[in-house]
Amino acid sequence: MKLTVFGASGGTGGQVLAQALDAGHHVTAVARASSTLAVTEHPRLTVVRADVFDAEAIAPAVAGADAVVTALGSRQVSAPTEVCARGTRAILAAMHATGTRRLVAVSASGAFSDSGDGPLTRYAVKPVLRRVLRHSFADMRAMERAIRDSAVDWTVVRPPMLTNGPLTRRYRTALNRNVRGGIRLSRADLAHCVLHQVGEPTAVRAVVCVGY
């Protein structure tokens, strides 16, 4: 499979990149000129240096891909940001221009409350998180709105608090609702879940929540 990965210099994107290559996929990693990738040389890896906010510049990296994965995010979580929303809008425009259909985007479960949350999480934990991470969460909600309004075959993956723990494959998922008690997840397991969703037909135009 041919995958295009945005945000491959980050913790989650780096895991997606490494696991995709290990699984035998051909990967195009889109990164800014100053970004450092965990993997830079591999026979099935193409690195494209481009401005992720420029749809025309990233269109060649998206063209011909079986799926696009975005794990964009700001490194300064407490500051105002439009990285996710603005970058994803450019990705969607590039996908529209090139006819690429499949998109899997990483969001965050903390920005949303629903029936999958327990009372403590819904009424105590998440209100605090939304105050502390209000800028990042606002950016992710705007990103999700742009994705929902698009015509692509999208999947949004919402993880809880992320750790640098190992790959366990012991996570739980829920469709269109949060995972009860799933308060943390390793980036390695998140990447495994993201790559699984690429070929999962039940996840098309749906939200997949994930956690332990």
User: In this predicted model, what pLDDT tens digit does every residue of 80-112 receive, in sequence order?
Assistant: 999 999 999 999 999 999 999 999 999 999 999
Range of the structural domain that residue 146 is part of: 2-211
Q: What angle do helix axes 187-198 and 11-22 make, rounded to 10 degrees?
A: 60
User: In this predicted model, what pLDDT tens digit does every residue of 105-117 receive, in sequence order?
Assistant: 999 999 998 888 8
Query: Do residues 17 and 39 make contact, with C-beta atoms less than 8 angstroms apart?
Result: yes
User: In this predicted model, what pLDDT tens digit does every residue of 123-142 receive, in sequence order?
Assistant: 888 888 888 889 999 999 99
Counted domains in the chain: 1
Give dist(CA 173, CA 116) in Å, integer: 11
Predicted pLDDT at 36 = 87
Quick one: average pLDDT of 1-12?
Answer: 96
Is residue 167's pLDDT more than 80?
A: yes
| CATH of residue 53 | 3.40.50.720
Residues ≥6 apart with Cβ < 8 Å to 99: 63
Query: Do residues 102 and 1 make contact, with C-beta atoms less than 8 angstroms apart?
Result: no
Q: Which two tokens stand for residue 103?
A: 């998109």
Beta strands in 44-98 (DSSP E): 45-49, 67-70
Q: Is the dihedral of CA 153, 157, 158, 162 positive or negative?
A: negative
Residues in the chain: 212
Is residue 33's pLDDT more than 80?
A: no
User: In this predicted model, what pLDDT tens digit does every residue of 39-93 receive, in sequence order?
Assistant: 989 999 999 999 999 999 999 999 999 999 999 998 887 789 999 999 999 999 9
Predicted pLDDT at 120 = 82
